[in-house]
Amino acid sequence: MAKRSARFQVSSRLAHLLSQEYSSSEKALKELVDNAWDADADFVRISLPEPLADTPIEIVDDGTGMTEAEVRRHYLTIAADRRIARGERTAGKARRVKGRKGVGKFAGLMAASEMRLETWARGVKSSFDLRLVDLAGVEDIEKLPIEIASEQCSQERHGTRIVLSGLHAGFAIPDPRKFRQILLQEYGRESGIVICVNDKPLGVDDVDGSYQDASFQVDGVGDVRVRFSIAENKSVSRAPGIVLKVDGKTIGKPSFFGLDERHDFPQKLLKKLYGEIDADGLHEHVTTGWDSIIENSELLAKLIDAVQPTLISAFETRYRRDIQLAQARLKRTVHERLAELPEYRREYAQRAIEKVLDRFYGDAPEKVEPYIFVLLEAIENADYGTVLRHLAEAERSDVVAVAEALADFGLADLAHLVEQAKARHAFLDKLEALAHDPKTLEVQMHKAIEKNLWLLGAQYSLFSSNKTLTRQSEDYLDKKFTGQRSKDRPDLLLNENLDGAALLIEFKRPKHPLNFDDYQQATGYRHDLNKVMNKPIDVLVMGGKRSPDFPQKDLEPNVRVLSYLDVIATARRQIEWQLKISFC
């Protein structure tokens, strides 16, 4: 065995790169798997020690390996981007190179104090040892001597073996489960490489979530096996969905087997789905290039129909309670309007709202609420009610009548949404013209907005008239603001939302720049009203642009300031969003 000394060759980027730490030992070990990928390996085996065991970490691959000259020229060159010298793709399999920083080869030293590398290529085995204590003992890493041992080996043998020993006592041993999760993100959909962690190949059942393995018969397809997991948290892979395998080969890209086309399925949950289906019976329906199933395959349609209920059932088991809780919170905000509907309308309104909430599960309430209120307004419309009555009167046994009624329901739903959107756009055009006109008075803006609170967002359209509250406040205001002060009374809108909070809106003419006096005036009204009203009061000041002396911080709680043009622009965007969602 021949031993020759070598030294590190350090790129100018080293100081910057070595200052960046890996957030976990599992992520550091993934860098070594990336190196195996870049070496065109078909197989990578990682052995992690059991807790409290004194065994090393071992990473073995069957990649191209390195000669002694390549170890010196490439491996011992630190912090050099390999893509610059050898291109973006690997030489053998044309894989996109993952190793970029040039320090990942030593990532294992985050978890261990010693590293041994053995590599085989073209009839030569080369090896060397590296210890952290040696690195700490030299001021210049370029002066650290490395003894590379070389000996003859079989011409057929190729690959690399890295052994990490002397695991750091202060670090937790890499967790196999967590390590598999990290590898799934990068390699879960790669068909050209098999990665084993502690002798178990990376697979669908490694997802941190609920796993199902089911087999059944599909007419014309034969035996079908579906294995899938629903991730507990975020997406487990950069390519979520289910891949179809025929004769062990992956056909095309992952898909969601029709779940992405269902209007009643929460689209955000799709990213949590990860699995594969074996359906060898589709062999005759695969395209020549094995990149997809032939268009309009009846067998594929049968497979989708057979698999979809299993997927939906699994999602309902895992997420139905979460969805129901989200629905319950939003339903509380609309129960008064639902209660005012006739019984036959109420039933269908509830079903329609549930479909909206199902589809937008996970979205913020302020994004979903406007869509629900548009839906409620459409249902409350008399013409729309006629369609609902048609639906309610259809005999349950009359399938044709029910089907026709459902079709009418959908058409009416979209038709009224479009009709309302056009009307609201026209209203906003007129309101914007008023806002730009220097002659417009605050009372004119007041009247236009008072009956169209949808302009201000769903949270304000919830406000409804409370006659007792209004009478109490009016009685107080009549006494408080008398004589010369009668012209200075607040601008009304003392209504109540479902949480019992009152709203006070102070309007100013569009030409008027909002200033500190306006702020004090509006909050002063609230102070006056708090003396007779035992409930919270929100304050909204509306007018032109803010002047420089309008307070920007240390505002009283629950005080908002809006310009008319900002309100109009936001309302337009909300209408466009509703239309886009409806027709997507």
509 token code pair: 């003419």
Of the candidates 104, 103, 111, the one whose C-alpha atom is nearest the C-alpha of residue 57 is 111
- Average pLDDT value over all residues in the chain: 77
Residue 101 has pLDDT above 70, yes or no: no
DSSP assignment string, 154-212: -TT--EEEEEEEEE-TTSPPPPHHHHHHHHHHHHTT-TT-EEEETTEE--GGGSSEEEE
490 or 329, higher pLDDT: 329
From CA 94, how far away is CA 545, in angstroms rounded? 59
**pLDDT confidence of residue 484:** 45
- C-alpha 180/C-alpha 208 separation (Å) is 9
Give me the pLDDT at residue 105, please: 65
Determine the average pLDDT of the residues in 470-482. Answer: 52
The listed CATH number (3.50.50.60, 1.10.10.10, 3.40.50.10470, 3.30.230.10) that belongs to domain 204-317: 3.30.230.10
Question: Residue 12's pLDDT band (boundaries 50, 70, 90)?
Answer: very low
- Higher per-residue confidence, 473 vs 333: 333
Give the pLDDT of residue 152.
93
In the predicted structure, residue 71 carries a pLDDT above the cut 70: yes
Q: Where are the domains of the chain?
A: 2-197, 204-317, 333-427, 442-565
| Higher local confidence (pLDDT), 501 or 484 | 501
pLDDT at residue number 522: 85
Q: Which residue has the higher pLDDT, 318 or 565?
A: 565
Q: By mean pLDDT, which of 29-38, 103-112, 297-306, 445-454 is the weakest? A: 103-112
Compute the average pLDDT of residues 343-366.
72
> Could you give the percent of the chain with pLDDT greater than 70?
70
**146 versus 473: which is more confidently predicted?**
146
CA dihedral (567, 429, 495, 353) positive or negative: negative
Please report which confidence band the pLDDT of residue 466 belongs to, taking 50, 70 and 90 as the band edges. Answer: very low
- CA 559 to chain centroid, in Å, comes to 32
Helices (H), 262-342: 298-332, 335-340
Average pLDDT over residues 272-293: 89
When mean pLDDT is compared across 79-88, 92-101, 216-225, the lowest value belongs to 79-88
The per-residue pLDDT for 471 is 52
| More confident site: 322 or 404 | 322
Does residue 135 or residue 37 have the better pLDDT?
Answer: 37
At 13 the pLDDT is 39
Residue among 433, 429, 454, 457 at smallest CA distance from 444: 433
Tell me: pLDDT of 138 over 60.
Answer: no
User: Which has the higher per-residue pLDDT, 264 or 122?
Assistant: 122
Question: Per-residue pLDDT for 566 more than 70?
Answer: yes
- For residue 158, pLDDT over 80 is answered with yes
Confidence label for 357 from pLDDT (cuts 50, 70 and 90): confident
Q: Which of 112-116, 153-157, 176-180, 403-407 has the highest mean predicted lDDT (pLDDT)?
A: 153-157
Q: What would the mean pLDDT of 30-55 be, rounded to a whole number?
A: 89
**Amino acid sitting at position 85:** A
Output the pLDDT for position 140.
55
Q: How confident is the model at residue 222 (pLDDT cuts 50, 70, 90)?
A: very high
- Please report which confidence band the pLDDT of residue 189 belongs to, taking 50, 70 and 90 as the band edges: confident
Secondary structure in 3-state letters for 80-128 = CCHHHHHCCECCCCCCECCCCCCCHHHHHHHCEEEEEEEEEECCEEEEE
CA pseudo-torsion sign 27, 32, 36, 37:
positive
pLDDT surpasses 50 at 469: no
Between 522 and 397, the more confident residue is 522
Predicted model pTM: 0.55
Which is higher by pLDDT, 550 or 329? 550
Pick the CATH number of 2-197 from 3.30.9.10, 3.40.50.720, 3.30.565.10, 3.40.190.10: 3.30.565.10
| pLDDT range class, residue 440, cuts 50, 70, 90 | confident
Lowest-confidence range among 227-241, 244-258, 312-326, 488-502?
A: 488-502
Among 388, 285, 368, 375, smallest CA distance to 327 is for 368
Residue 95 reports pLDDT greater than 50: yes
Position 398 pLDDT exceeds 60: no
Highest mean pLDDT (candidates 81-90, 167-176, 213-222, 570-579): 213-222
pLDDT given for residue 83 in this prediction: 52
Q: CA 534, CA 557: separation in Å to the nearest integer?
A: 17
- pLDDT band for position 492 (cuts 50, 70, 90): low
pLDDT at 175 over 90: no
Mean pLDDT of 348-356: 75
Determine which of 3-7, 118-122, 529-533 has the lowest per-residue pLDDT on average.
Answer: 3-7
pLDDT of residue 276: 93
Q: Does 572 or 479 have the greater pLDDT score? A: 572
User: Is residue 21 over pLDDT 60?
Assistant: no
